[in-house]
Amino acid sequence: MGLPLFLPNDDPGPSFLGLLERSGKGLVDPTDWPPSGSGLTPHGTTVVAVRHRDGVVMAGDRRATSGNLISHRSIEKVFPADHHSGVAISGSAGVAMEMVRLFQLQLEHYEKVEGKALSLDGKANQLSQMLRSHLPMAMQGLVVIPLFAGYDHRQGLGRLFQFDATGGRYEERDHAATGSGSLHASTVIKLRYKDHMSEDQAVDVVVEALFQAADEDSATGGPDLIRGIYPVVASITASGFERLADGRVADSTTALVESLTGGGSD
């Protein structure tokens, strides 16, 4: 592995993907594959994001499925993208995780080469472009649908973005959800959402949303009290991306279970 130096007219600039291509490590070309490999690979399911007064909370359940089988009970679908943004994934798990890894590297690489981090819109746009270049694989069944959220220092607020398989990017004002349980999760968030919620309230909302999604959707995993597996919940505020401790999520889950069984309601 030599020193990657380029002539000015062939310089990949701050793009890590451009660098990968020039180094012959570009992504595999899927066009020769048989159609639909989707049944063969694990699928990640429900992820949600909710805006609150200090930023955004993102959360994802821990289940991956292959057809009717549970292939993993404790995979993670919520990742830091950089210091002040996060990305959550649903869809073909292996492909999605590789996409997250490349996305994280792309942001860090840009920041180091340029000496300055990308704007939040710039980051969302990068993810869009990665999805668009992934479209041939998506057409063969290996679909990845992420959520992207971050704290925008210029506007002083949390922002969140939804995507589709073609790279379409849709900024949402208050909340977003994707994956097989997203319909049920969205309904819960819609009913519980309040303007200017605190971070704690937003955490309770996403925990309940994932709980209800798991109740209706077999591909979404609920909290596993026996093994101590809880959804991954992360908060992004002006001070950065922070994954909440399992204990914090466990507390919220316990409170939810109590309110559902009538234990804590009066």
Using the CB atoms, write b or e for 50-88: b if 16+ within 10 Å. Answer: bbbebbbbbbbbbbbbeeeeeeeeebbbbbbbbebbbbb
Work out whether 157 is an interface residue with another protein (CB under 8 A).
Answer: no
Work out whether 35 is an interface residue with another protein (CB under 8 A).
Answer: no
Work out whether 28 is an interface residue with another protein (CB under 8 A).
Answer: no
**Binding span for another protein by CB under 8 A among 26-34, 57-65, 106-114, 164-172:** 106-114
Contacts of 30-34 with CB under 8 Å at 24 or more apart are 30/136, 30/137, 30/140, 30/142, 31/136, 33/140
**Binding span for another protein by CB under 8 A among 53-61, 109-117, 152-160, 252-260:** 109-117
Give the H/E segment covering residue 262: none
For residue 203, how many other CB atoms are within 10 A of its CB?
23
What is the amino acid identity at position 93? Answer: A
Contact 59, 87 (CB under 8 A): no
**Binding span for another protein by CB under 8 A among 55-63, 111-119, 131-139, 202-210:** 111-119
By C-beta, is 12 or 37 nearer to another protein?
12
CB of 21 to another protein, least distance (A): 12
State how far the Cα of 61 lies from the Cα of 207, in Å rounded to an integer: 9
CB of 25 to another protein, least distance (A): 7
Work out whether 120 is an interface residue with another protein (CB under 8 A).
Answer: no
By C-beta, is 5 or 226 nearer to another protein?
5
CB of 101 to another protein, least distance (A): 8
By C-beta, is 182 or 235 nearer to another protein?
235
Work out whether 34 is an interface residue with another protein (CB under 8 A).
Answer: no
Query: What are the DSSP E strand ranges found in 61-153?
Result: 64-66, 69-72, 78-82, 85-92, 144-152
Q: Which residues pair with 90 in a beta bridge?
A: 145
Can you tell me which of 21, 36, 40, 112 binds another protein, judged by CB under 8 A? Answer: 112
State how far the Cα of 13 lies from the Cα of 2, in Å rounded to an integer: 18
Contact 186, 46 (CB under 8 A): no
Could you confirm whether 178 is annotated as catalytic? no
Q: Which residues pair with 59 in a beta bridge?
A: 48, 233
By C-beta, is 111 or 172 nearer to another protein?
111
Work out whether 19 is an interface residue with another protein (CB under 8 A).
Answer: yes
The residues assigned a catalytic role are: 45
Which residues contact another protein by CB under 8 A? 1-5, 16, 19-20, 23, 25, 101, 105, 108-109, 112-113, 115
